[in-house]
Structure 1
Amino acid sequence: MQKFKLELLLHIIGIGSASGLLFNNNSLFLISDNSNMLYEYNMTDETTSKVSLADSTYTGPLENIPKKDKQDFEAITKLDNDLYIFGSGSGLKESRNSLAHYNFKTKITQTPTDLTDLYLGMQSFGEISPEDFNIEAAVNDGTLWYLFQRGNGPAQQNGLFTLDGDINEIYFQIIYNPITLPKINGAQASFTDAVKVGDKLYFIAAAEKSDSTYLDGEVAGSLIGCIDIETVKVEFTQIISNKNKFEGITLYKDNGKSLEFLLCEDTDSDATESDIYKLTIDK
């Protein structure tokens, strides 16, 4: 059993349905799966700012977007001074195939990129049906991009895509590895986010009593786990909650013998508030 400590760290007003987060230089960037905004919470002065990720031609709501219309931003990662935010590609919705791009130094948001062709190629390569396809985590390591397939569809296909190439040209060599995860309280766990620490990919997975990438189900809990990048094998999993659906993880502190992560929770509600938890585990 992996030793861990889970504690509530922050309660942020103004951000709902948090689906991903990234800690960088005392700023906590957050995304929401029913919003077209990128939020930045300054952990020093405890203030929140936000910027639109939508295309300049978009005229719809930017927050609390109806499920049928949302871009479903689920994954956030960083390359140099740029943040890349991936739509999930789930639910047979083309609106969910967008890649948003924001430079946090210049404060410039680029025009979103259409990932439809890439996602179709990934589905074909991984033999994943459109009904099962659901990208919930993205991790960058230079030219390598690790995209996690969440197995919460009918076929329960959890897996890891490794893409090697230029994100600006959307041209990649693709490797796909199916990943087996355990059940939590009788429900299949599926990837919700990940972060790279050294030569490991630490991930969180949540379990819901549903077989749909589109519809939410009763929450059965969440776990943390670790994948060795070289072998692409799961080294451990540990249930950390029987009630929370954690959807985001980012490294907060590396203390040498232990790691501290920040987690965000998606409550699947319209409430515009988010709890941020701190999870400490031994290395």
Structure 2
Amino acid sequence: MHSTHLEIFAEIDGIGSASGLFLKENKLYIIGDNSANLNEFDVSNKQLNKIKILFNKDLNASQNIAKADKPDFEVLCNYQDRLFILGSGSTKNRNLMIDFNLKSKEIIEHDLTTVYNKIKTTAKIDDDNFNIEGAIFTGKLWLLFNRGNGINAKNGIFLIKGEDLTNADNPTFVRINLPHINHIESTFTDAILYKNEIFFIATAEDTNSTYNDGAILGSFIGSINLQTLKLNFATKISDVNKFEGICFLKESNNKIEFLLCEDRDTEELKSTIYRLTMNL
């Protein structure tokens, strides 16, 4: 059992439903599942810069997008100088991927409908049980984390070889069993790769729907071996928070620190970022 400590790292006005994080030097990048912006928060001077990544004229970039219309960006994945922002795929209008270059600021859109349909077929997962909440890209392999909060509880990882996610070939699916709370299995909400180890967060939520929210029963942090995809450990970190984003902060003195963000499932444009310290 790993001991953990959770504390507030920052409170940021202007961001709602935070679902993904990435820290580079003093810039904390935050994505919300109902926003047309990528948020860039300067940790040093507490300044927030909004980078528009969706250019649909019908979307108001300064406000929350209605649930039925939102892109549901649940994934903020980093590889070298690129951020990959993925929709969850839980409805037909949530299949977009944004490729954002941190240096050039270039934005490229990709439609993942074909890829998502292919991996659903491979894993025999229907639309009501498909919900991508995390991703890792190693440069040669994509890992997509399906949150198994649908009726069939398909919690697991899609493995897709190659650099180009849009041309997925021969995907595979590995079922992952996570801890239960009150007979409800916790399900993936995000994951990152650190030193060839997958660190993930997961939440137990009392719902059988990838669309409708339920009561939060608790959240975990854990790790999975990258080579074997076997669960190393899972530790409960909260009874009430629904954490949806994780990124690495630092490691020192046998401790590792992460930043977490939570989705409060409200319309409030305010986000709390947490620091999680874990003894190794």
TM beyond 0.5:
yes
Distance change (3 Å), C-alpha of 1:57 and 1:15: closer
Structure 2 unpaired stretches of 5+: none
- Kindly tell me: are residues 33 and 57 of structure 1, through their superposed partners in 2, closer, same or farther at Cα, counting changes over 3 Å? closer
Question: What TM-score, normalized to structure 1?
Answer: 0.95
Matched, 1:15 2:12: no
How far off its partner does 1:57 sit? 4.5
SS in 2 for 1:214: coil
- Alpha-carbon shift at residue 172 of structure 1 (Å): 3.7
Contact between 2:16 and 2:32, CA under 8 Å: does it hold in 1?
yes
Native 8 Å contact 2:119 2:172 kept in 1: no
> Would you say the 8 A contact 1:184–1:239 is kept in 2?
no
1:96 aligns to what?
Answer: 94
Alpha-carbon separation, structure 1, partners of 2:56 and 2:20: 25
Give the alignment partner of residue 196 of structure 1, picking from 193, 196, 203.
Answer: 193
Amino acid across the alignment from 2:249: Y
CA contact (8 A) 1:37 1:52 kept: yes
In the alignment, the residues of structure 2 paired with residue 43 and residue 172 of structure 1 have an alpha-carbon distance, to the nearest angstrom, of 40
Gaps spanning 5+ residues in structure 1: where?
none
Aligned-partner Cα distance in 1 for 2:181–2:37: 32
Give how far 1:61 is off: 2.3
Contact 2:36–2:59 (Cα < 8 Å) also in 1: no
The one of 156, 159, 162 equivalent to 2:159 is 162
Asked whether the 8 Å contact 2:115–2:166 carries over to 1, the reply is: no
User: How much does 1:238 deviate?
Assistant: 0.7
Residue identity matched to 1:278: R
Amino acid of the structure 2 residue aligned with 1:59: D
**Correspondence for 2:278:** 281
Q: CA RMSD in A?
A: 1.3
Identify if the C-alpha distance between structure 1 residues 169 and 218 changes in structure 2 by more than 3 Å, giving closer, same or farther. Answer: closer
Aligned-pair identity (%): 40
Kindly provide the CA deviation profile for residues 195-246 of structure 1, in whole angstroms up to 9, marking residues without a partner as x. Answer: 1111210000011111100001111110011000111101111110000000
Would the aligned equivalents of 1:71 and 1:97 in 2 still touch at CA under 8 Å? yes
Partner of 2:78: 78
**Cα–Cα, structure 1 residues 94 and 44, in superposed 2: closer, same or farther, change >3 Å?**
same
Deviation per CA, 1:35-59: give whole Å up to 9, x if none: 12100111111111011121x4442
Deviations 1:163-222 (A, max 9, x none): 111226533442211000111244321000011111210000011111100001111110
Counterpart Cα distance in 2 of 1:262 and 1:102: 21
Render the CA deviation track for 1:132-183: whole Å, top value 9, x for unaligned: 0000001111121111000111111100112111226533442211000111
Measure, in 1, the Cα distance between the counterparts of 2:43 and 2:154: 37
- With the length of structure 2 as denominator, give the TM-score of the two structures: 0.96
Counterparts of 1:1-283 in structure 2, within 5 Å, are 1-54=1-54, 56-62=55-61, 63-90=63-90, 93-110=91-108, 112-167=109-164, 170-255=167-252, 257-283=254-280
Distance 1:234 1:26, change over 3 A: same
Name the aligned partner's letter for residue 252 of structure 1: L
